[in-house]
Amino acid sequence: MKRHYPASRKFAPGFLPRFSNGIVRHISAAAAVVLLSFHAAAVEFRWVASAQDIAPVDRAIYQGETLDLTATMTSYGRPVVFPDGAVATFLWRPLGADAPYFDKPASVEINGSRLMARFTPDDDIGESAYEFFIRAQVDSSVNYRANGIIRTLDSPGFSPGTLTPPIPYLDFAAVAYTNAPWLLASDLPEPPDLSTSPPPTPSQDWRRRSEARCPPPRRTSARSSGIPPPPTTPPPTRSQWRRARRRYRT
């Protein structure tokens, strides 16, 4: 027999809440599945970085995971607002290594206070820990307060990334040298004064250069050199010629 509920009981206090709670439970479960599938691809790490403090953060992940870093910059407890034109860069290298940093572009929230960077498995070259910086630059001002350490734990099936090592730069302040490796102003010849002497013609210039390469021999006299002059004999007379002929005939 079909039961008929009076109009006053159709919307009894216990009926509608049971129906609403069921819908809420289904919606909550679906939202949780969506959120888990969205965040399963990356591990998030958020922290607050103060412009007045040097406080590196420390985070551990398994090798092969992607780590999304988000730093909220503050100054004296208030959020820092990055203006239009701000640029962010992510820098990292093995912890304690005396080597140049790897770098790649990061994200900065314009008119906001967040710096965002991503550490992927391709950035992991197989080291156990890395030191990183999220550099924020506005015109000529640079801020490195968003920094820390990423520790990587062993995981099955991980293959290190193959990154090209950055090119090191030569720091002249750390190089000992006895003379400057470049020309100074004193090493350059003084230019000729064209106001007092006219410039040489092409032929004069060529002759000057050839004489500089192969100078002509210097002529010296016997008196200046100290060598006695060779003896000089007067030419024979006619009588001497006749006597010489007679001797030759006989």
Mean pLDDT of 13-41: 50
Residue-range domain boundaries for the chain: 43-155
CA angle 145, 87, 91 (to 5 degrees): 55
Average pLDDT rounded to a whole number, residues 90-109:
94
pLDDT band at 33 (very low <50, low <70, confident <90, very high): very low
pLDDT confidence tier of residue 4, bands split at 50, 70 and 90:
low
Does the pLDDT value for residue 49 go beyond 50?
yes
What is the 8-class DSSP label of residue 173?
Answer: G
Residue 36 clears pLDDT 50, i.e. is over it? no
Q: How far apart are CA 136 and CA 212, in angstroms?
A: 60
Instruction: Report pLDDT for 111.
Output: 92
Which of 143-147, 169-173, 235-239 is least confident? 169-173
Pick the CATH number of 43-155 from 3.40.30.10, 3.90.1150.10, 2.60.40.3350, 3.40.50.970: 2.60.40.3350
For 120-214, where are the alpha helices, taking DSSP H only? 202-213
CA 35 to chain centre: 39
In 10 A of CB 210, how many CB atoms?
11
Is 69 within 8 Å of 117 (Cβ atoms)?
yes
Give pTM, 2 decimals. Answer: 0.54
Whole-angstrom distance, CA of residue 182 vs CA of residue 250: 87
Report the pLDDT value the prediction gives residue 75, as an integer from 0 to 100.
94
Q: pLDDT band for 11, please (50, 70, 90 cuts).
A: very low
- The sign one gets for the Cα dihedral 109, 114, 117, 118 is negative
37 pLDDT more than 50: no
The answer to whether 72 and 113 are in contact (CB under 8 A) is: yes
Going by their DSSP bridges, the two strands 57-62 and 141-153 should be labelled as parallel
Percent of the chain with pLDDT over 70: 64
Decide if 104 contacts 150 (C-beta within 8 A): no
Mean predicted confidence (pLDDT) in 164-186: 67
**pLDDT tens, position by position, 178-190:** 666 667 777 777 7
Tell me which DSSP letter residue 103 carries: E
Does position 2 have pLDDT exceeding 70, yes or no? no
What is the tens place of the pLDDT at every residue in 107-158?
999 999 999 999 999 999 999 999 999 999 999 999 999 999 999 999 999 9
SS3 content of the chain, % helix, strand, coil (to 5): 25, 25, 45
Identify the burial level of 132 via C-beta atoms within 10 angstroms of its C-beta, where 0-12 means exposed, 13-18 middle and 19 or more buried. Answer: buried
Sequence-separated (6 or more) residues with CB below 8 Å from residue 215: none
